Amino acid sequence: MNTLILATKNTHKTKEFQSVFNNSITIEDLTRLQYNNEIIENGETFIENALIKCREIYTKFNQPVLADDSGLSVKALNGKPGVLSARFGGEGLSDQDRYMLLLEKMKETKEREASFVCALVLYISPNRIFIIQEECKGYIAEKPSGVYGFGYDPVFFLPQFNRSMAELSESEKNEISHRGKAAKQLLKLIPELFCM
């Protein structure tokens, strides 16, 4: 298996996975496949949402599918925005709108612990499913910084680097990010599937 369908239209995610897999696997995302149906992610966990995406895309294309569901879990907000990270604050908001809303909600709290969480599901067939969940721990900064990455990266502070996720290079981010760690675990777990 050298080709996977990546169940996303998010070009940032596609680029991150291609980088982590070091172009050893051909990734076809939903934009490239011109799949325009909206997938209803109504699971209560990141794993449930990734499975929902995999099942729908596998049913349509009958090919191995890789899906992730990821988001930000903030301790002071009881784990929110969680599975609703991409829709935090409502539909139609930009990434900047969302992280500024998060900062507004947290302006009175000193407790700033947070984690990026990634559930990664490789759906080879209904009987061959691999699930991995990883996280990257950090803190919510008091103000945004950095120009790289996407989503909540500008407000996710990493004390070991003394920088935000949005200030890391692509290679630095892939080493420590929730998505990078999950993808590396997948490669270790089932290398024969990737002909490596």
CATH number of the domain that residue 134 is part of:
3.90.950.10
29, 68, 69, 153: the active-site residue: 69
The token duo for 91 is 């539909």
Are the C-beta atoms of 134 and 68 separated by less than 8 Å?
Answer: no
Q: What is the mean pLDDT of the chain?
A: 91
Look at the chain and report how many structural domains it folds into: 1
Its pTM stands at 0.88
Please enumerate in sequence order all residues whose Cβ is within 8 A of that of 16, keeping only pairs 6 or more positions apart, or say none: 173, 174, 177, 179, 180, 183
pLDDT number for residue 190:
61
The reply to whether 69 belongs to the active site is yes
pLDDT less than 50: residues of the chain = 194-196
pLDDT number for residue 155:
98
> pLDDT tens-digit profile of 65-95?
999 999 999 999 999 999 999 999 999 999 9
Instruction: For residue 54, give its domain range.
Output: 3-194
pLDDT number for residue 168:
95
pLDDT number for residue 192:
60
pLDDT number for residue 23:
67
- Three-class DSSP category at 79: coil
- Tell whether the torsion through CA atoms of 149, 95, 81 and 152 is positive or negative: positive
pLDDT number for residue 22:
74
Q: In what order do the strands lie in the sheet with 156-158?
A: 26-29, 3-6, 65-74, 113-125, 128-140, 156-158, 163-164
pLDDT number for residue 178:
93
